[in-house]
Structure 1
């Protein structure tokens, strides 16, 4: 600070003709001492005599530089702020000091801990650490800083296993308890928001019984302290530090120190005697030799003479220049040829604070400005403690954090990092391992959100990202793969001609149709024989034709459903079966009426001749045609994708359209079948060598049994088996009719031709 003030006083551009004075105080990191100093400042300075201007006057405090700590700064700012005296701190980073309602006159050249807390949270998130421990100084710096960090960490999804605080003056028991918490923890990452003095106490305790390797993440309060680098358990530590800088001329200023100048200051005396191991006093009670004046500070290699790692020092330098420029803007004005400053003008402190807020300068390449909260633009270097080949820990800059850059670009790493114990492998610190795709996270009861179990996705749902909190259902026509990390189209199922079941059913269908055609050919070839003529050959041929259609219509149920196949399969089935039953019904009525006609005086057969039989078949069939037509016009069957029967596949099927239409078609067939069955039962015991009513009775019995069992089987069969049941019912009832009615006749025609004679047919048993 002295160097900066002397540099300003010697400047011809900044405050020309005006000299800045200063008074130094040591707050000793004590709030009481800081408060005492604040009142000293407010009470005014003792009169002084300036030999250069030959006048005496009292100094007026325009601004305060300091303090180094946040807690003393809070105390000082509350006191002097009431009198509008601005304070510019170089190392008080507590985010609480950004509150302009409480600290309206506070400024600082070091960034607020709010920026550092956000940067630390982003750093932890960047390396994938979600399970960390946290320790802090039990001070305003540590408590407010850790509070900001924990809030930022929570936003980033980071969990904290423990959060402990300590102060260097705490009892040994408390320090030991904090150390034991670290030793027992499972988190491999420790974020330390601490001051150097507090961390030193903790590291001393940990060094006695070192914990398992831990990766330390440091705040700017200790990460650049060279004394802490002697602790090997912190090797590989990373953290954010104030930007390293170079102040031209400072090293020469520091080296321009003679023994006599050192002896004039108690602080410099202590430094000189410790550096050269001699005493500046002429008579010394210690074993040290008396300094003889040959000591050369330029040959000294110590932190005092090393100006290559200036960080906080530059913050003091910027604070002094910020105040000087504010004074310059308040009392100086530009003329045509030069800058003129009013030496004796009294600076109004309220006006001076307004000027301070507007400061925006650059000195030696370092910007100096304040935002609305009195904070500068945040810029940090990411530093790493790396062991050199000689075993000494060096401070290496590996990246930076610039809060002025666009979101997402603030954090950059440009060099390799050495991790805990000098390793190059990135340490892992998680409460639970990542959940792979196909699973989702389920929190463990009573534990933070980072502790969870990986549960496979439920049926029909997937997760295609790592650590997915939930599973998402697949769209209705898609289904998860075995790993449940992707959705694929569901397999489409229908009764295809490629399947064994369909081939078997189609074979039976074609066989049945061929059987009906062969039977018709046999009947046609023997159409003049008594057995064919006696059994109403016209209705027999029509029945065989309808049975052929019944067998063939089952083929329309096989294959992918389409608009035409859905309408054709149900209507063709309904009409052909009614045609078939109508023929059987006609044959049954003919048998009954034939025996009634043998009674004396009966003239019944004239009403049941061939024309009437044809009209009966046409009439009953026409009713079914009308039912089917109405069904097709109002609500016809249509192809649909059944997504409800099976979750994992799509069933292509024909929707009924109108269920009433479907059951009306089936009901009408059933009604004719029952009527035909009743008539056949009535005629089954009529005397004759060959009573066809018995055969019709058996055929109708099979027909009704098949369709009665079809209804529950149809309703309960899933997917393509519904179609298979329907085909089976058609084929079974068709085979029942053709075998029961025509098989005995064909057997007689082919193998017992002697019975196929008029004599045999007319004889009585």
Structure 2
């Protein structure tokens, strides 16, 4: 089909294309002299090494035809300078609905899209479809989109790859600030309670059930609140190693102290029975031995964990689209759940023993408070596991911080707040006579008086 203007011939018919191919084959062997005596020959490609004028044929009235030179093509010119045309002087046929006319049936595909050929149509007919997720096209009419590098992601237009957003629980974002303030708040509350116990250390309510065990428990709770802050900030090798080990050891000391307190309550009342064989086991060394042995076992578990599968920072690029999650890989899920399981074991024993001792005289007994604290502790960590497994990235650390703060504050509130209430607001109940009013003190053995009342 001949198009007025530039004189372009478009061949869609194969029967017409074959003779043209034969013509090109003969043109490759052209060699002659023109009217000026210049030697003309064709190159291997069939092109003649000469300049070509681009002529615009204009049809005037009364059948007059005018030819205007509107451009030039120089095969030997530099790239970009071989083809020049002056579009302003071109006169287009009035029948064209669009100037300049389109020589194809589809519009150009913008960057961010790719061409999808239409079945049964010429190659110039296609649809423009957006690039798939994770791919871009930065030029017009691209046949295929390009995938971005792993650390980059397409922008909204999908024409440029941009760096992915790096996500972790930061000290500067609202969630990190709230968790950090909560950790500091509970740490200060625990410090105040420790100061109260030290100030009133000679009163019966503080000396009951071993003053030193109370000190150890309060200090370990302070460490628990502080270790939750390790989960906030950019994960690195040091913080990934300290996170779970500091948490596991601090909580094992706390639960061991609670267990020692619980066993002390039960043994104290069991030794009041005639002929009890527990009298030889009563003593401060028993309580300290429980705390030391239970804590050392957790330390051993953590050491094995660090030696066999050390936690390390991990860049997770697959969990969230367009985001790199920086998180701590625990190294060994089995070791992590062994540490949690051991804490659950200590809490379970403390809960069972305290629950069995809940009916002992209330004015002398701490078992009821321990029962409630262990019930809260177990509830928090049982709900923690499915929540932990269903979250990713910074929210995983946030869930564990909530569990640490919730369980630690539960122990603090159930065991020590009632005592502080009596010390500060009900001082008349903080005396030996009131505490032992329901107990036959004569029946108490000497060791019970030393470790529980004096």
Place the TM-score, normalised by the shorter chain, in its bin.
Answer: 0.7 to 0.9
Shift of 1:683: 1.0
Q: Distance in 2 between matches of 1:758 and 1:686?
A: 18
Shift of 1:365: 2.5
Equivalent of 2:127, from 447, 453, 471? 453
Equivalent of 1:395, from 50, 58, 67? 67
1:488-517 CA distances to partner (integer Å, 9 max, x unpaired)? 111111111112222221111111111111
Task: Give me the TM-score of the superposition, normalised by structure 2.
Answer: 0.84
Q: Distance in 1 between matches of 2:166 and 2:81?
A: 52
Shift of 1:487: 0.9
Q: Which residue of 1 aligns with 2:185?
A: 511
Report 1:11-26 matches (<5 A): none
Equivalent of 1:429, from 88, 103, 106? 103
Q: Distance in 2 between matches of 1:641 and 1:608?
A: 53
SS at match of 1:764: coil
1:427-485 CA distances to partner (integer Å, 9 max, x unpaired)? 33221111111111122333222212211222222111111122222211111111111
Q: Which residue of 1 aligns with 2:298?
A: 624
Equivalent of 1:418, from 90, 93, 113? 90
Give the direction of change, closer, same or farther, for the CA distance of 1:372–1:515 in structure 2 (3 Å limit): closer
The answer as to 2:256 corresponding to 1:585 is: no
Q: Which residue of 2 aligns with 1:611?
A: 285
The answer as to 2:73 corresponding to 1:384 is: no
Q: Which residue of 1 aligns with 2:383?
A: 709
Q: Distance in 2 between matches of 1:358 and 1:722?
A: 77
Shift of 1:602: 2.2
Shift of 1:545: 0.4
Q: Which residue of 1 aligns with 2:361?
A: 687
Q: Distance in 2 between matches of 1:499 and 1:410?
A: 56
Q: Distance in 1 between matches of 2:380 and 2:256?
A: 18
The answer as to 2:306 corresponding to 1:635 is: no
Give the direction of change, closer, same or farther, for the CA distance of 1:496–1:441 in structure 2 (3 Å limit): same
Give the direction of change, closer, same or farther, for the CA distance of 1:699–1:431 in structure 2 (3 Å limit): same
Q: Distance in 2 between matches of 1:513 and 1:372?
A: 87
Q: Which residue of 2 aligns with 1:464?
A: 138
More deviation in 361-370 or 623-632? 361-370
SS at match of 1:432: coil
Give the direction of change, closer, same or farther, for the CA distance of 1:608–1:428 in structure 2 (3 Å limit): same
The answer as to 2:39 corresponding to 1:367 is: yes
Give the aligned length.
429
Shift of 1:531: 1.3
SS at match of 2:219: helix
Q: Distance in 2 between matches of 1:754 and 1:533?
A: 16
Shift of 1:715: 0.4
Shift of 1:616: 1.6
C-alpha contact 2:113 2:137 (8 A) present in aligned 1: yes
Give the direction of change, closer, same or farther, for the CA distance of 1:539–1:415 in structure 2 (3 Å limit): closer
Equivalent of 1:655, from 329, 338, 345? 329
Q: Distance in 2 between matches of 1:729 and 1:473?
A: 41
Shift of 1:565: 0.8
C-alpha contact 1:386 1:418 (8 A) present in aligned 2: no
Give the direction of change, closer, same or farther, for the CA distance of 1:359–1:491 in structure 2 (3 Å limit): closer
Segments of structure 2 that go 5 or more residues without pairing to the other structure are 440-454
C-alpha contact 2:56 2:70 (8 A) present in aligned 1: no
Shift of 1:562: 1.0
SS at match of 1:450: coil
Q: Distance in 2 between matches of 1:544 and 1:436?
A: 66
Q: Distance in 1 between matches of 2:164 and 2:47?
A: 60
Shift of 1:421: 3.0
Q: Distance in 2 between matches of 1:402 and 1:596?
A: 111
Q: Which residue of 1 aligns with 2:214?
A: 540
SS at match of 1:492: strand
C-alpha contact 1:497 1:503 (8 A) present in aligned 2: yes
The answer as to 2:342 corresponding to 1:668 is: yes
Q: Distance in 1 between matches of 2:190 and 2:252?
A: 17
Q: Which residue of 1 aligns with 2:158?
A: 484
C-alpha contact 1:381 1:397 (8 A) present in aligned 2: no
Equivalent of 2:246, from 563, 572, 583? 572
SS at match of 2:423: helix
C-alpha contact 1:561 1:639 (8 A) present in aligned 2: yes
Q: Which residue of 2 aligns with 1:531?
A: 205
Shift of 1:135: 8.9
Q: Distance in 2 between matches of 1:640 and 1:484?
A: 28
Shift of 1:566: 0.9
Q: Distance in 2 between matches of 1:535 and 1:683?
A: 14
Equivalent of 1:753, from 427, 430, 433? 427
Give the direction of change, closer, same or farther, for the CA distance of 1:443–1:372 in structure 2 (3 Å limit): closer
Q: Which structure is richer in relative contact order (CA contacts within 8 A, separation 6 or more)?
A: 2
Give the direction of change, closer, same or farther, for the CA distance of 1:145–1:400 in structure 2 (3 Å limit): farther
Shift of 1:530: 1.1
More deviation in 557-566 or 377-386? 377-386
Indicate the RMSD between aligned Cα atoms, in angstroms.
3.5
Give the direction of change, closer, same or farther, for the CA distance of 1:694–1:378 in structure 2 (3 Å limit): same
Q: Distance in 1 between matches of 2:110 and 2:58?
A: 37
Report 1:33-72 matches (<5 A): none
Give the direction of change, closer, same or farther, for the CA distance of 1:412–1:484 in structure 2 (3 Å limit): closer
Q: Distance in 1 between matches of 2:427 and 2:182?
A: 29
Q: Distance in 2 between matches of 1:358 and 1:431?
A: 36
Task: Give me the TM-score of the superposition, normalised by structure 1.
Answer: 0.51
Q: Distance in 1 between matches of 2:135 and 2:43?
A: 51
Shift of 1:390: 9.1
Q: Distance in 2 between matches of 1:694 and 1:575?
A: 26
Q: Distance in 2 between matches of 1:596 and 1:414?
A: 109
C-alpha contact 2:205 2:419 (8 A) present in aligned 1: yes
Shift of 1:398: 5.2
